[in-house]
Amino acid sequence: MYAAILNQKLVLAVNEAEQVNRGIKKLNQDYYLCPSCRHRMILILSEDKTPFFKHFYQVKGTGEKEEHSQAKILLCTALKANGIQAEVEVSLLDQQLRADVLVENKLSFEVQCAPLSEEEFNHRHQLYKQINIKDIWIVGKRHYLKKKINQSQEIFLRYSPKWQWYYLEIDPFKCLIRLKYNILKAAISSEIQYDVKTFPLDEEGVAELFLFTPVKKIFKVSDIKDQKKYLQKQLVQKSKIGLKIGSLLYQLHYSIDDIPKELFLQLRKPKDASPILTFLQKKLDD
């Protein structure tokens, strides 16, 4: 749609886009309305098409397909408004790979709203490595981080010197990007701690995200009682980690009480082995 209502007047997408490009106004800071249904619309900038308006879906329960589609468009539009060359749905490697949002042929933002196996993730990640394009994954509602992290979420983690281990989430219906950074995991369980910074999914928000440098924070340590209780549960249930630690305890003639208390307090990087497992293995090797 090439026209919308703004302040009770009809405006053209091409004219609004020109004002954004000239810096007269910020992208989608105005509240555009559909001339037909009077629902909110957003302005979409495109390199290969005339600027246009699109309905902005705010209804909860909207499906993953619409979540994925709208997230890509909003992210690409915000990048373009910052003068960055970006395209949506770009085929690469003779159509073996399709980038959700390709940035200057150097970076791909992959917006993941649907389920994704580790095998498929690794396949796509390796294809990007082949063509020297860095893939950054931004996840939808299904994959949002809470108090624990599971294996299906760990594949989306990325590392940078200033953010440490971080995780990006997108909410196109609220027009937000969330950065969860300084992610650390408890000594033995999958419980995590992290900081959160939220950015508007628009021109200014994306620029702020790229420039964001956090203040260093001291995290609280794990709770000994909870970690010991969790370890005991894993031993009883004979989980994967429980079997590993149980075997080491048996070979060393140790009990849980023989494990140094400070190890239960220790936080670790998300993909690091438990300090307890590392300690017991070292004891056995020595």
pTM of the model: 0.78
Cβ 139 vs Cβ 169: under 8 Å: yes
Residue 60 confidence (pLDDT): 46
CB environment 254-277: b (16+ within 10 A), e (fewer): eeeeebeeebbbbbbebeeebbbb
Q: Which of 202, 204, 173 is nearest to 45 (CA)?
A: 202
CB environment 26-45: b (16+ within 10 A), e (fewer): ebbebebbbeeeeebbbbbb
Give the chain's mean pLDDT.
89
Residue 272 confidence (pLDDT): 93
> pLDDT tens digit string along 80-110?
888 888 988 899 988 889 999 999 889 999 9
Residue 63 confidence (pLDDT): 65
Q: If pLDDT is split at 50, 70 and 90, which confidence band does 57 have?
A: low
Reply yes or no on whether the pLDDT at 59 is more than 70.
Answer: no
Residue 26 confidence (pLDDT): 79
State the Cα–Cα distance between residues 53 and 4, nearest whole angstrom.
Answer: 7
Residue 48 confidence (pLDDT): 61
Average pLDDT over residues 145-153: 93
> pLDDT tens digit string along 173-194?
888 999 999 999 999 999 999 9
Reply yes or no on whether the pLDDT at 137 is more than 70.
Answer: yes
Q: The tokens of 218 are what?
A: 């001291």
